[in-house]
Amino acid sequence: MSVATRVIACLDVDAGRVVKGVNFENLRDAGDPVELAMVYDGQGVDELTFLDVTASSGDRQTTYDVVTRTAEQVFIPLTVGGGVRSVADVDRLLRAGADKVGVNTAAIARPELVAEIADRFGSQVLVLSADVRRRRGDDGWPTGDFVMTTHGGRTAVDLDAVEWCARAAELGAGEILLNSMDADGTRDGFDLELIRLVREAVHVPIVASGGAGKADDFAPAVAAGADAVLAASVFHFGDLTVSEVKAAMREAGVTVR
């Protein structure tokens, strides 16, 4: 029996409000995170991912408050990321109601953090949040290589994304949230090449993120190797419901919950 593919709604939060842009820029308000979480729960979403998109350089107090209020209203797994720098941050988020915690910027700066979190809380708690861009050549055109970014996609890092995902999994990351920064918010479909490359490199679950625009975009991501599919703007602005996505995936032969 095949394992059911999870459908995840992502709440990108800035100053306590859900926001969405294109390639992480030109953010616009999309609503109250707790209200949206309750809507998606009612639609049958399998998990929620909550990302504080400005936390790496800002005050994170709002995050804990919103996480707590969200966890009190919905009873599905909640992953929280943004500005997580230490084992103590993870502990505090878990106490606030998170089930899993995502790390990116701090883990790239100090990879030992991945092992420290996994040793303390278990790999099942730790999600590597990988914000990935295609490397660009001297002519400015994208190449077939992928590199990492930090600080909510704002800072490019000369670090091979596929190699980094594999290393983080070896250090103890239990899941890879694989976000294509090039596809983010474009609604042109997931970066299937990126998913395939990371799938070949890691054995932990992969969450495909970035680029969902229509119901038919999700099944190809699963075929490329994703264990879960994530979307934000198509849900926030009412273009698609979770149930419509699941129906399209079932029709394409994908097992969903």
The residue annotated as part of the active site, out of 46, 131, 182, 217, is 131
CA torsion, ordered 100, 102, 108, 114, to nearest 10 deg: 0
From residue 7, how far is each of 1, 14, 122, 135, 253 by CA, in Å? 19, 23, 23, 29, 15
41 carries an active-site annotation: no
145 carries an active-site annotation: no
For 112, other C-beta atoms within 10 Å of its C-beta total 9
Cα distance between the two ends of the chain: 13
3-state secondary structure 85-140: CCHHHHHHHHHHCCCEEEECHHHHHCCHHHHHHHHHHCHHHEEEEEEEEEEECCCC
What b-and-e string marks burial along 175-205, b requiring 16 or more CB atoms within 10 Å of the CB? bbbbbbbbbbbebebbbbebbebbbebbebb
Distance between CA 87 and CA 66 in Å, rounded? Answer: 20
Which active-site residues does the annotation give? 12, 131
